[in-house]
Amino acid sequence: MTKNAIKAAERHLLNSHDLGREEIDKVLRKILRHDVDQADLYFQYARSEGWSLEEGIVKSGSFDIEEGVGVRAVAGEKTAFAYSDDISLAALDDAARATRAIAAAGEKRRVEVAPAKSPKRLYRGDDPIASLDAAAKVRLLERLEKFARAADSRVTQVMAYLAGSWEVVLVARGDGHLAADVRPLVRVSLAVIMEANGRREQGSAGGGGRYDYSYFTDERLRDFALAAVHQASVNMEAVAAPAGTMTVVLGPGWPGILLHEAIGHGLEGDFNRKGSSAFSGRLGERVAAPGVTVIDDGSIPDRRGSLTIDDEGNPGERTVLIENGILATYMQDTLNARLMGMLPTGNGRRESYAHLPLPRMTNTFMLNGERDPFEIIQSVDRGLYAVNFGGGQVDITSGKFVFSTSEAYLIENGKISRPVKGATLIGNGPDALTRVGMIGNDMALDPGIGTCGKDGQSVPVGVGQPTLRLDGLTVGGTA
């Protein structure tokens, strides 16, 4: 990967602007003459597009190109950062002068740098935007709409969306490490409106990953359409959800978003260094029920949240966060890892060259247990089976969360019974981990739809889990 990616990055980001490695090294040396712990340059070229179709008509289309460079210097806990959408030696020199101001507040120290690891290629670098012409992209959305309408005559409205992007990034660090990545990303999503007998309900679905548009075969588009229509049809029959404390069974795959939000953010290094996470200072302690193992893995081929290198030039890694219920480590970028005396874990991520890197999740999921999912359902006399989720809110410090379900059912006498709507799950992330009573053997990752927000930055992520039984969770309902 690295040689081809570096050549592509140099071609798009350096050579086209009359820059080379010699000029980059000079800029870094200017910053490092001062008392800074680390310095880096982050170059990015990105183009993206989006197409939306409603009622068989293309309602909007967008295309965007951006490029630029971010220059960072770090001393102690303090960071100086400047960025420019002008990639030139003059702009780099100006940004370097601005970042050197941090040196006055820095501590004089010699920082030990871990040896750079060689990344593995996780996805092809093909440009999805160039993989289909405009007419073919519209036809793709038309087929998606056709599949949805053919699935159920009650479908009255279909909204379909296609998005693709292609990024080239180059990271040059003060320790001499140079790394690059070429990142494709595609996603399809659709929402359907279903109406009958004066009732109106919605369903949605979608997926994608680090591919070009050839990923969206007719079979895959039909699966997305059927999933959205199924969700809407279930909600057409749903009754008001009950409220109270009960056993909750979470389905596999996308319900891992609850794990991501309620627990994952609390395991990011910056929150724990500052002592603002419910997991701060608890390394080596039991924080979850036996059998619970939580992984963040940025090295899964072709997944939406995967990264050949993170945005600091470190390879994407598989990091065991919780092992058999014991808190093993945190997700780290370079700055927080250094200040905590730990190693980076390939989780330094930024939305673009105009943003600072933060410790962020990639693909976060719980590993399989040994129970058959049907056995888990059969173990519940009265409870809720949550198959899909909509929005939610989480407080990182306390771990408290509220999540709304978009597809859920009652469990009565060990069987899935009536669908319900309006159910919300209310709890505390660390507490919920201790309430895991049974873990299924059907772990699945989401179809490739996740986007995570933090400090105003959005990045693509993945989530996943097997079927889980949570005992004694609070359910808010409408009944």
- Torsion, Cα 463 469 473 478, to 10 degrees, reads 80
Which residue, 288, 260, 237, 247, is CA-closest to 377?
247
Angle at the Cα of 88 from the Cα atoms of 85 and 89, rounded to 5 degrees: 135
Tell me the torsion sign for CA atoms 277, 282, 286, 292. positive
In what helix (H) or strand (E) does residue 348 lie, and over which residues does it extend?
strand 348-349
Tell me the C-alpha distance between 326 and 294, whole Å.
Answer: 10
Tell me the C-alpha distance between 179 and 40, whole Å.
Answer: 11
CB 350 within 8 A of CB 42: yes
CB 23 within 8 A of CB 30: no
Tell me the C-alpha distance between 110 and 470, whole Å.
Answer: 48
Digits of tens for pLDDT over the chain (479 positions)?
Answer: 467 899 999 999 999 999 999 999 999 999 988 788 899 999 999 999 999 999 889 989 999 999 999 999 998 899 999 999 999 999 999 999 888 777 555 444 444 455 567 788 999 999 999 999 999 999 999 999 999 999 999 999 999 999 999 999 999 999 999 999 999 999 999 999 999 999 999 999 999 999 999 999 999 999 999 999 999 999 999 999 999 999 999 999 999 999 998 899 999 999 999 999 999 999 999 999 999 999 999 999 999 999 999 999 999 999 999 999 999 999 999 999 999 999 999 999 999 999 999 999 999 999 999 999 999 999 999 999 999 998 777 888 788 899 999 999 999 999 999 999 999 999 999 999 999 999 999 999 999 999 999 999 999 999 999 999 999 999 998 76
Residue 440 carries which DSSP code?
B
In what helix (H) or strand (E) does residue 3 lie, and over which residues does it extend?
helix 2-9
